[in-house]
Amino acid sequence: IRQQRKQDIKDVGDLKNLDALRVELLGKKGPITQALRGMRDLPADQRPKFGQFANTVRDELQGAIEARRDELKKDRLNKQLANEKIDVTLPGKPVAQGQPHVIQQIIDQIEDLFIGMGYQVLTGPEVEEDKYNFEMMNLPKDHPARDMQDTFYITKDILMRTQTSPMQARTLEKHDFSKGPLKMISPGVVYRRDTDDPTHSHQFHQVEGIVIDKHITMADLKGTLELIAHELFGNRFDIRLRPSYFPFTEPSVEADITCFNCGGKGCAVCKYTGWIEVLGAGMVHPNVLEMAGVDSEVYGGFAFGLGPDRFAMLKYGVDDIRNFYLNDVRFLTQFSKKG
Q: Which is nearer to ligand PHE, 302 or 335 (CB)?
A: 302
Q: Looking at beta carbons, which residue is closest to ligand PHE?
A: 305
Shortest spacing between CB 291 and ligand PHE, in angstroms: 15
Shortest spacing between CB 177 and ligand PHE, in angstroms: 20
Q: Which is nearer to ligand PHE, 252 or 323 (CB)?
A: 252
Q: Which is nearer to ligand PHE, 204 or 335 (CB)?
A: 204
- Residue 119 identity: Y
Cβ-proximal residues to 40 (8 Å cutoff; 6+ apart), any chain: none
Shortest spacing between CB 337 and ligand PHE, in angstroms: 29
Contacting residues toward ligand PHE, per CB under 6 A: 163, 165, 246, 249, 280-282, 303-305
Shortest spacing between CB 119 and ligand PHE, in angstroms: 15
250 is in an annotated binding site: yes
Contact status, residue 270 vs residue 276, Cβ threshold 8 Å: yes
Shortest spacing between CB 330 and ligand PHE, in angstroms: 31
Q: Containing H/E element for 304?
A: strand 300-306
Q: What is the 3-state secondary structure (H, E, C) of 136-174?
A: HHCCCCCCHHHHHCCCCECCCCEEECCCCCHHHHHHHHH
Q: Containing H/E element for 133?
A: helix 130-133
117 torsion bin: left (phi>0), alpha (psi -120 to 50), beta (else)? alpha
Q: Which is nearer to ligand PHE, 191 or 237 (CB)?
A: 191
Q: How far is CA 213 from CA 114, 189, 200, 250, in A?
A: 17, 27, 35, 16
Q: Which is nearer to ligand PHE, 62 or 296 (CB)?
A: 296
DSSP annotation of 200 reads B
Residues flagged as binding site for Mg(2+):
250
Residues flagged as binding site:
250
